[in-house]
């Protein structure tokens, strides 16, 4: 359906640095769709923030589903199914799906191509896309499809179906859509976001410009909090702690002064480097110390 040049442009767009935020929001939405299908009703702080902080519907085609994200009550509702943020103890006992989603588009030969995935290793390095058996997932037992969204086998497949979808991704073109209703936290009410588990750390990304300003190395898809924490642990592990004995330092300084080390060094500087043998150094030191006798 779509020429190779269009698919290449789509790949470049979804893999660009500034598209990491929409992908983070898409990851959160995909997780909640899987959990909704499983009858579960919890949302993590990072998923809530991802959907609050990015207007996903303006840069990515979404199906006609009603989504309400409430940053004050810390809840998300999808077609009336409400998710709440559990307390810390309950969160430890709550099952969370492993991020599983993909974005597909049909090429000129009618073959579905996977152009992005929650699994960064699913598409081999250097490849723009890989063939994807959409029919197999669509015909799988328990598959649910609505518009361009297919939920099957515990993962969500997002299809770029037409030129309107392409335009939305490439040009952030706003056309009719259900959209996402949001209620943001009011100033002064905001509380720190708790990243309560490893999945929160994996799926929460730090602004690339912020990292660049601080001279930090930036990954191809930005840097997750987990990557930065691991890097910090490594740096701390390599840091050598030095205990300074202040009394010893004072004694060394006094000896340094009494022996006139600075004067000896200045005298040695006048000797050619090749002649600064052990014998020569000892001779200069002996001569210098003899002057004080």
Is 197 a domain residue?
A: no
Domain count, the chain: 3
Q: What is the pLDDT of residue 194?
A: 61
Query: Residue 222 has what DSSP assignment?
Result: B
Do both 233 and 285 map to the same domain?
no
Angle, CA of 238, 221 and 127, to the nearest 5°? 115
Q: Hunting for tokens 């660049």 — which residue is that?
A: 212
Do both 151 and 70 map to the same domain?
yes
What 3-state DSSP class applies to 240?
coil
Do both 13 and 97 map to the same domain?
yes
Block means of pLDDT (10 residues each) for the chain, 293 residues, are 93 91 94 91 91 91 93 92 85 75 96 95 93 95 94 95 92 61 67 64 72 68 74 70 67 72 78 78 75 62
| Structural domain of 111 | 4-191
Pairing verdict, β 75-78 and 67-70 = antiparallel
Is 13 a domain residue?
A: yes
Is 137 a domain residue?
A: yes
Do both 180 and 224 map to the same domain?
no
Given 149, 170, 191, the domain boundary residue is 191
Residues 6 or more apart in contact with residue 58 via CB below 8 angstroms = 168, 172, 174
Q: What is the pLDDT of residue 234?
A: 76
Do both 223 and 84 map to the same domain?
no
Is 187 a domain residue?
A: yes
Is 199 a domain residue?
A: no
Do both 159 and 271 map to the same domain?
no
Do both 72 and 187 map to the same domain?
yes
Q: What does each C-alpha distance from 257 to 190, 264, 265, 287, 293 come to in angstroms?
A: 59, 11, 12, 17, 16
Q: What is the pLDDT of residue 75?
A: 94
Nearest to 97 by CA among 181, 35, 184, 20: 35
Do both 237 and 251 map to the same domain?
no
Do both 274 and 225 map to the same domain?
no
Do both 9 and 149 map to the same domain?
yes
Do both 104 and 223 map to the same domain?
no
Do both 177 and 235 map to the same domain?
no
Nearest to 224 by CA among 249, 203, 199: 203
Is 165 a domain residue?
A: yes
Is 186 a domain residue?
A: yes
Q: What does each C-alpha distance from 82 to 48, 66, 132, 257, 272 come to in angstroms?
A: 12, 11, 32, 76, 82
Q: pTM for this one?
A: 0.63
1: how many CB neighbours lie within 10 A of its CB? 16
């Amino acid at each position: 359906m779509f020429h190779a040049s269009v698919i290449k442009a789509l790949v470049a767009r979804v893999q660009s640095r500034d598209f990491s935020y929409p992908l983070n929001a898409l990851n959160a939405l995909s997780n909640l769709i899987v959990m909704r299908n499983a009858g579960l009703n919890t949302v993590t702080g990072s998923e809530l923030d991802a959907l609050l902080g990015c207007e996903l519907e303006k840069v990515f085609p979404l199906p006609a589903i009603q989504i309400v994200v409430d940053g004050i009550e810390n809840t998300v509702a999808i077609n009336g199914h409400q998710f709440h943020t559990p307390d810390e103890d309950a969160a430890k006992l709550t099952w969370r799906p492993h991020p599983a989603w993909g974005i597909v588009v049909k090429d000129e030969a009618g073959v579905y191509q996977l152009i992005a995935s929650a699994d960064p290793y699913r598409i081999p390095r250097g490849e723009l896309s890989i063939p994807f058996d959409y029919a197999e997932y669509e015909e799988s037992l328990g598959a649910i499809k609505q518009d361009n969204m297919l939920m099957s086998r515990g993962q969500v497949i997002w299809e770029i179906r037409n030129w309107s979808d392409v335009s939305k991704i490439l040009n952030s073109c706003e056309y009719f859509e259900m959209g996402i209703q949001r209620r943001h936290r009011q100033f002064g009410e905001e509380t720190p976001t708790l990243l309560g588990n490893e999945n929160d750390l994996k799926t929460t990304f730090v602004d690339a410009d912020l990292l660049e300003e601080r001279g930090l190395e930036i990954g191809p898809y930005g840097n997750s909090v987990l990557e930065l924490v691991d890097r910090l642990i490594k740096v701390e592990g390599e840091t050598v702690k030095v205990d300074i004995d202040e009394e010893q330092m004072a004694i060394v300084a006094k000896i340094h002064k009494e022996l006139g080390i600075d004067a000896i060094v200045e005298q040695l500087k006048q000797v050619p480097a090749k002649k600064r043998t052990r014998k020569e150094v000892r001779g200069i030191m002996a001569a210098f110390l003899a002057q004080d006798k």
